[in-house]
Amino acid sequence: MLTSVVSTTSAVSSATASAMSMTSGIGLPEYGVLAVIGLISLLAAKEILSASKYWNKNINLSLNMGILPLMVSFCAIVTFKVLEII
């Protein structure tokens, strides 16, 4: 009796997992706009700081460490949206 309950429970949980995977969307998360806002903020900070007296190599490298991954994410978002239209 206990094994039938366990097998029924595992069958229900696997059916639920497969149903959830069928309904979940593929692609990038909905929060891509936050990555774009972060990218714009870092690019603006880099532009402003490059004109100030506080600009140095360390600040440039620090900002680039944040900008480069966000730039990759932005390119992926744009590519995904264009392919979604086509």
The verdict on residue 52 lying in a domain is yes
- 8 or 85: whose pLDDT is higher? 85
Which range marks the domain in which residue 71 is found? Answer: 30-86
The verdict on residue 83 lying in a domain is yes
The verdict on residue 1 lying in a domain is no
d(CA 23, CA 65): 35
The answer to pTM > 0.85 is no
Residue 70 burial (CB count, 10 A): 19
Q: Number of folded domains in the chain?
A: 1
Q: What is the pLDDT of residues 12-51, one digit of tens each?
A: 455 455 545 555 555 556 778 888 999 999 999 999 999 9
The verdict on residue 20 lying in a domain is no
The verdict on residue 69 lying in a domain is yes
- Cα–Cα separations (whole angstroms), residue 75 to 39, 60, 67: 11, 22, 12
Q: What is the pLDDT of residues 50-80, one digit of tens each?
A: 999 989 999 999 999 999 999 998 998 889 8
